[in-house]
Amino acid sequence: MATHFQNSLLVKPIALIVMLILLPGIAVGCQIPTPPPTPTSPPGPFVYQTRVKAMDTKEYVPYARVTIESGQIAPLIVEADTNGFARIFIDRAYVGKPGRLIVEAPGYERNTQNIDLWEASLPGVVLLERSGATSTYTPQTPSDTTEPTNTSPTASTTDELLTPTNIGTPTISTTSVSTAAMLFPTTEDGLGPMIIFADDKDSLTVYVPAQITSSLQDLNLEYGTSTGTDRYYFIEGFTPYVDGTVPPPFCLHLERAGSSKPFPTECHSVHKPIVRLPSGSIFWWDEFERKTKTLFVNLGDKQLYVCDAGFSRCEVKWNP
């Protein structure tokens, strides 16, 4: 009897130990499976804002050029305003990719940083060290009153970052271009004008004032070729500006790769996105005549204005 009682006392602790060992496994086996995580949507585009300052004085650096490069995609280039403030629209094609942030200004060392194109990881302030030894970028300051002059064509470059897309089949234009013709009605309420600047083969700039609120998605410049006419559509390189994402005022700046042209005075305090073109795609310049070509300013197929051959400043009156 005593022996039976002792054995029963030994069995209970052993059973308890076995239960403690097996319970976690049973609990895991009976656990309700966790559902897989819900797929998240791809990151969207965003506007990157930064301020450029001098490293020693922390003063704003006006008109600094801010460039974002990423792989084989065309670089994003803007010029800061008088307070060193720059804003760049980062399209979905760039988001999440590795790249380089390059900031340069006359009198300062070029600042180059390796970056990942996420909104939270980009620097809100870029400091430039004074030197002037590495930057070749020379913006035009408001006090610069030198009149632009036509320059001789320079050697071609191999820096082919973006080329205009040929739209449709070239056709012979039947519109007379002997004098500038106003083909779009204007009003006297102060709207416009849109201004096109083209002094030489190095750059063409389109200034779009704040008063223009109509869509510019179909804005294009039609120009003559050896076989007829062709068009450059600004949607190809300036999408967030012409589709309404970034409102005017702004200057759309086409620049021959390898050159560094100053901006017109009208562009000093507005956003200035830049698209670089190889020498073979400089559509506004007549190499034989050594002057700007006649340009037809169009919205889609509707002709708004004609800029005569040889123009350096063409004011396009605008009536939305």
- Per residue in 21-41, pLDDT (tens digit) is 655 555 545 555 555 555 455
Same domain, 198 and 309: yes
| DSSP labels, 33-72 | PPPPPPPPPPP--EEEEEEEEETTT--B-TT-EEEEEETT
Domain boundary residue, one of 85, 110, 128: 128
Percent of the chain with pLDDT over 70: 67
State the pLDDT at residue 34. Answer: 57
Residue 81 DSSP class: -
Q: Is the torsion defined by CA of 153, 257, 171, 311 positive or negative?
A: negative
- Above 80 in pLDDT, residue 150? no
> 211 lies in a domain?
yes
> 155 lies in a domain?
no
> 5 lies in a domain?
no
> 208 lies in a domain?
yes
Domain total of the chain: 2
Domain boundary residue, one of 111, 128, 145: 128
- Per residue in 77-114, pLDDT (tens digit) is 888 888 888 888 888 888 888 999 999 988 999 999 99
Structural domain of 110: 46-128
State the pLDDT at residue 121. Answer: 86
> 308 lies in a domain?
yes
> 144 lies in a domain?
no
Name the pTM for this structure: 0.53
Rounded Cα distance, 42 and 35, in Å: 21
- Per residue in 173-215, pLDDT (tens digit) is 222 222 223 333 333 333 458 999 998 899 999 999 988 877 8
The CATH number of the domain where 89 resides is what?
A: 2.60.40.3700
Same domain, 199 and 312: yes
> 231 lies in a domain?
yes
The CATH number of the domain where 229 resides is what?
A: 2.60.40
> 16 lies in a domain?
no
Mean model confidence pLDDT for the chain: 74
